A = this chain, B = another copy of it.
Amino acid sequence: MFKYIVVGAGLAGITIAERIANELNEQVLIIEKRGHIGGNVYDCYDEHGILIHKYGPHIFHTNNKKIWDYLSQFTAWKEYQHKVLGYVDGQLIPIPFNLNTIDKLFPAGMAARYTNKLIQTFGYGIKVPILELNKTEDVELRQLAQYVYEKVFLNYTTKQWDVSPDKVDGAVTARVPIHISRDDRYFQNTYQGMPLLGYTKMVENILNSNKIKIMLKTDFKEISQFNKNKIEIFEKTFNGKIVYTGNVDELFDYTFGELGYRSTKFDFEYIQEQHHQSVATVNYPNNYDFTRITEFKHMTGQKNTYGTTILREYPQKYDRNIVGRDVPMYPVLDDSNQQIYNKYKQEAEKYNNIIFAGRLAEYMYYDMDAVIAKALDTFKKLCRQ
């Protein structure tokens, strides 16, 4: 019946399903655990008619024209350049920390000295990770690094990861730099924007082919079983190919242990005012238990409503059995987890008709454009097999 089964209707799964349907011209069945498509990019209108991102704010940004063009087949775009402020010392300051932030926080003379020294040491337009800034000779720059470390980085990172920053993977900490620039935008990518009618509409368009069938509310484990390294689906040996985008530990019944994640509790609130804050996202590194407040109307551009809906995000230790902690958001990429993951990867190689793709299955933190690029590569690999 189906030659291809894709497990998971997130960006990785739907991209590969789209290619199977439209390039290979083959039928494909998508199995999705949740009651909706789109994975974590799913957006919907809440009961007040405000378009919200159910799993936290998603801003599409890329330098990869190929990926931008690929998605542009399925959506028009609202030009949007993401801006973030941080609530620090009672002020709202531009984030990432940049030359405007320095002007805002320090007396004019001090600010000018910091700015000059930064430009002389690193050059204008450069992004310097603060852990690196802290290694400079100059006492004042080290003081600045210390200030940013304490006021912007330390508590935010601790809140987010629940460990001290030096225990967090470098790839993550590099995401918090000082930007030696007057550019207040959060991203500097060539292409940046929001799908004009939302992510879910874009996802629906990606899945538009009638060769794509979607099975919702279905755990892959419920319809499949392993039988001597053969896979059975609907109690029948399955000879096609499976693209698996879910958790690998779950697929193998946690044989080698559970992979660690950070999760988020999403707390939405509808407010009867035109706007709650001046930009889409305000970070709270030092106050409260949430990391940030996002106001969706700023990023979606929705204008025709009186009220506004905001989202507070509370980092949580991931626990697949506790509601509010059961969304695996960020892999905890320490050695122990990497070792566990490698065991699953080895195990997976025994099954030559399963291929792994996406953030969960690869146990990687990918931005949206990277997921899609990776999925397009995986599709090519699939074709060569």
| Cβ–Cβ < 8 Å partners of A305 in chain B | 49, 304-306
- Is the pair A49, B302 in contact by a Cβ cutoff of 8 Å? yes
Give the CA-CA distance A218 to B27 in the complex, in Å.
11
Q: Does A322 contact B (CB under 8 A)?
A: no
Which of these, B49, B218, B234, B302, contacts A51 with CB under 8 Å? B49
Q: Fill in one digit per residue for A288-327: 1 if any B CB lies within 8 Å of its CB, else 0.
A: 0000000000000010111100000000000000000000
Interface of A is mostly: loop
Residues 254-279 of chain A, each 1 if its beta carbon lies under 8 Å from chain B, else 0: 00000000000000000010000000
Q: Out of B35, B198, B213, B223, which one reaches A204, CB within 8 Å?
A: B35
Given contacts A204-B35, A213-B217, A217-B210, contact A235 B51 (CB under 8 A): no
Q: Which residue of B lies closest to A218 (CB)?
A: B213
In the complex, whether A384 has a CB less than 8 A from a CB of chain B is no
- Which residues of A (39-79) have their CB < 8 Å from a CB of B? 44-45, 47-51
> Which chain B residues lie closer than 8 Å to A49 at the CB level?
45, 49-51, 302, 304-305
Cross-interface CB contact of A1 among B51, B198, B204, B223, cutoff 8 Å: B223
Within 8 A of B (CB), among A166-218: 197-198, 204, 207, 210, 212-218
Q: Which residue of B lies closest to A27 (CB)?
A: B222
CA distance A305 to B235 in the complex (A): 51
Whether the Cβ atoms of B213 and A214 lie closer than 8 Å is no
A228 sits at the interface (CB 8 A): no
A216 touches B217 (CB 8 A): no
Given A216-B213, A217-B213: A304 in contact with B306 (beta carbons within 8 A): yes
Residues of chain B lying within 8 A (CB to CB) of residue A207: 35, 217
| Interface size class, chain A | 20 to 34
Cα distance A288–B198 when bound, in Å?
35
Residues of B within 8 A of A381 (CB): none
A350 contacts partner chain B, Cβ-Cβ < 8 Å:
no
Q: B218 contacts A216, CB within 8 Å?
A: no
Closest residue of chain B to A49 (Cβ to Cβ) is: B49
Give 1 or 0 for each of A100-121: 1 = CB within 8 Å of chain B CB.
0000000000000000000000
A27 CA / B189 CA spacing, docked (Å): 48
Complex contacts, A235 vs chain B, CB 8 Å:
1, 236
Q: Say whether A214 contacts B217, CB under 8 Å.
A: yes
Question: Are A304 and B307 in contact, CB atoms less than 8 angstroms apart?
Answer: yes
Contact with B along A123-161 (1 / 0, CB 8 A): 000000000000000000000000000000000000000
Nearest-neighbour CB distance to chain B for A32, whole angstroms, equals: 10
* A213 neighbours in B (Cβ, 8 Å): 215-218, 222-223
Instruction: Give min CB distance, A301 to chain B, whole Å.
Output: 11
Rounded to whole angstroms, the CA-CA distance of A118 and B207 in the bound complex is: 59
A1-35 interface (Cβ within 8 A of B): 1, 35
A-B pairs with beta carbons under 8 Å apart, 21 shown? A1-B235, A35-B204, A35-B207, A45-B51, A47-B197, A47-B198, A49-B50, A49-B302, A49-B304, A212-B217, A213-B215, A213-B216, A213-B222, A214-B215, A214-B218, A215-B215, A234-B234, A235-B236, A304-B305, A304-B307, A306-B306
